[in-house]
Structure 1
Amino acid sequence: MAKQYGLLIKWALDRNNLIKTPDTAERGEHYRCPLCKESVIFRKGKIRVPHFAHKKNVQCTLERIRKIVAQYKMVEVFSDWKNSTGEKPQFLRRCGICQKWSFQNLSDKVDAIDSDFPLSDGASADLVLKSKDIPVALIFIDFNPNPSKLKNLPINLPYIVVDPNEIVKNPYIWQPINDHFNKNICTSCIKTKSILAKQTYGIELKKNNFQFRTIRCWNCNHTILVFLWPIRQKEGLAASQNCISRPSTLVEKYSDFTGSSYLANTCPHCHSVQIEHYQQEPREFNF
């Protein structure tokens, strides 16, 4: 019997498909392996450390079980948050400007999380975040992600890779080890950006509903702000021209192709037109 149950694991599923550890398990209850779903035996004695005894098989290893536990925990934490019975999970990401770690809230518009989202080549993402049943971001759970493997996957959504070890330790903090979300800007850099906007662009970001983002100028490589203009799509060019709070780097240009004028973002340092960015829509989500 001892050899048959040679795999000792730290996690098991209870009757409600919730992850249990030896500290929270109870004698007499039925528990299953999170990966293969086979029965495991809860053991708690005076000599050995409490554990779940698992029959040996080819499929289940401690590493694979830890990964599936991380997946369960992320789904559980998300569901508790949406049911108002738990805290909101947070991303811990590097600021795209200063590179310091900062917390970023998960958008309230994300209303669902599902496991094992299929990709077109037969592969799958471990988790998908959805808004109104539409996928908006993917999460891969991996110990040592292979960048070239991820690069070749048919991924057309923003995604991150998280370490299952860190998720198991604290499932409320989702810290990417490979980050392909939209650039995160920390509070300190947002404050600096606001000062920059007032000094360089002649506007106050807090007093106007500007839609903007940070890019590097293609010509001089300075970090600059580019704006979506008009502020509201129903506004026309004439209304924008008369707006006294319009950023000073938005310059009127004329297109021979369309035979009309438009406002283009320009660099405040070298004055080059940022032609690829002046019409770009901002993302609805923070990733």
Structure 2
Amino acid sequence: MLIPYAVDQEGNLYNAKEAGKEKQYYCPSCGEKVVLRKGKVRTAHFAHKANAKCSEETVIHKTAKLLIQQVIQSWKKENKKAPVIIVKCPICYNPSEVRIVEQIRIEDALLEYRLPEGYIADVALIANNKIKMVIEIKVTHSVEQEKQERINIPFVELDGYEVINNPFVWKPLKYKLPFFVCDNCKDAYKKFLRKAKTIAQKTRVKIPTEYYLYGITTCWKCKREILVFTWAGHTSLDKRAPKKKPIPSTIQYRYSKTAKQKYWANVCPYCGAIQGDWFLYDEPDNPFIDCNLVDDSSFNYKKNMLRIAAHAKEMGML
């Protein structure tokens, strides 16, 4: 069995490629002496004696935990680089680097830490004597579903072999993390807000800060850029008045010749033309395409506005 890392008498972790033969090294899992084998043919590694009972699974599992701890401690104490987590942005769904340990201000990493729920965490990331995040290492067995559901703090499950390959880049197999937005979506949101403010000033339409979501579109009739609105629970050709007052001035109960009925519609502040619900909700490039308008506890105003901004950037409107 090839052992990629071993510890010295002081408990310092060494990569076989960087270790010198002048020291004695020990298995990070069972603590038995190991031999450094470093030649021109085979990859540098440590090896047990023939009668060792340690398994590859336990070695990889313990080594990965030690590497996570070492990376966190070297970042905090020696000002070395912090690890990043690669996860999909919840807005644009593109892979993004999240510097989570910096965001939640981690101070230390403790191994095999007992959680309040009674479970033992492979690695617990600590700040102000409180557990801020849990890291579980998978070699052959994934974290149990019950454990995953009962852990009430952020956690990630990492592949042990991937950690050993690169302990600075974490690619979770499973995760539960605080809400984050990638840099591209943050930039899109800032640009969207600036442009929306400019349009609002030109049209004298007040921008809401809650309940009413707003997007940017071009009036089909006069071809000017305008703001359009929607809200939680809104449906196409909706006859129900919005619940929140004041209602934006360009949301009006109007008769549509196309729909042959009255409904609460967006109208152009310049020419007064109704902006049809089909265009606003059903066309492939509609401004509210990624919005979740379900009128219940799942409605999230900020997430919806971020999605509207990201879509506007994708459509070349910002």
Give how far 1:150 is off: 4.7
What is the match of residue 62 of structure 1? Answer: 56
TM-score w.r.t. the length of structure 1 is: 0.63
Partner of 1:256: none
- What is the aligned partner in structure 1 of residue 24 from structure 2? 30
Alignment of 1:236-251 (within 5 A): 246-247=209-210, 249=212
- Corresponding letter in the other structure for 1:178: K
Specify the SS of the correspondent of 2:78.
coil
Q: Distance in 2 between matches of 1:203 and 1:82?
A: 46
Matches within 5 A, 1:144-183: 146=142, 149-151=145-147, 154-183=150-179
Provide TM-score, normalisation by structure 2.
Answer: 0.58
| Gap change, CA 1:150 and 1:20, over 3 Å in 2 | farther
Residue 61 of structure 1 aligns to which amino acid in structure 2? S
Q: Give unmatched runs, 5+ long, in structure 2.
A: 201-206, 214-228, 235-294, 302-318
Question: 54, 74, 85: which one pairs with 1:80?
Answer: 74
Could you tell me how far apart the structure 2 residues matched to 1:166 and 1:122 are?
Answer: 28
- Tell me the matched-pair count: 219
Residues 1:21 and 2:15 aligned together: yes
Matched, 1:268 2:268: no
Structure 2 counterparts to residues 1-287 of structure 1, below 5 A: 7-45=1-39, 49-55=43-49, 60-105=54-99, 106-107=102-103, 109-119=105-115, 123-143=119-139, 146=142, 149-151=145-147, 154-197=150-193, 246-247=209-210, 249=212, 268=231, 270=233, 272=295
Taking the aligned partners of 1:120 and 1:58, their CA distance within structure 2 comes to 36
Contact 1:95–1:101 under 8 Å retained in 2: yes
Q: Distance in 1 between matches of 2:160 and 2:98?
A: 19
How big is the shift at 1:128? Answer: 1.1
- Alpha-carbon separation, structure 1, partners of 2:67 and 2:174: 20
Check conservation: 2:17, 2:38, Cα contact below 8 A: no
| Gap change, CA 1:57 and 1:81, over 3 Å in 2 | same
The change in CA–CA distance for 1:129 and 1:201 in structure 2 (over 3 A counts) is farther
* Alpha-carbon distance in structure 1 between the residues aligned to 2:47 and 2:156: 33
Distance in 2, matches of 1:59 and 1:133, equals 37
Deviation at 1:169, TM superposition (A): 1.3
1:110 and 1:8, CA in 2 relative to 1: closer, same or farther beyond 3 A? closer
The alpha-carbon distance between structure 1 residues 35 and 167, as it changes in their structure 2 partners (threshold 3 A), is same
Letter in 1 for 2:19: A
Q: Which amino acid aligns with 2:183?
A: T
8 Å Cα contact 1:92-1:101 kept in structure 2? yes
Give the Cα–Cα distance (whole angstroms) in 2 for the partners of residues 157 and 269 of structure 1.
Answer: 29
Call closer, same or farther: CA 1:161–1:267 in 2, change over 3 Å: farther
Q: Which has the larger radius of gyration?
A: 2
Q: Counting helix residues as a fraction of each chain, which structure ranks higher?
A: 2
Match of 2:242 in 1: none
Work out the percentage of aligned pairs sharing the same amino acid. Answer: 26
Deviation at 1:28, TM superposition (A): 3.3
After superposition, the C-alpha distances for 1:196-234 in whole angstroms (9 at most, x for unaligned) are 556779999xxxxxxxxxxxxxxxxxxxxxxxxxxxxxx
Q: Name the counterpart of 1:241.
A: none
Q: Is the 8 A contact 2:143 2:157 kept in 1?
A: no
1:203, 1:247 within 8 Å by CA — same for their partners in 2?
A: no
How far off its partner does 1:91 sit? 1.6
8 A Cα contact 2:57 2:140, kept in partner: no
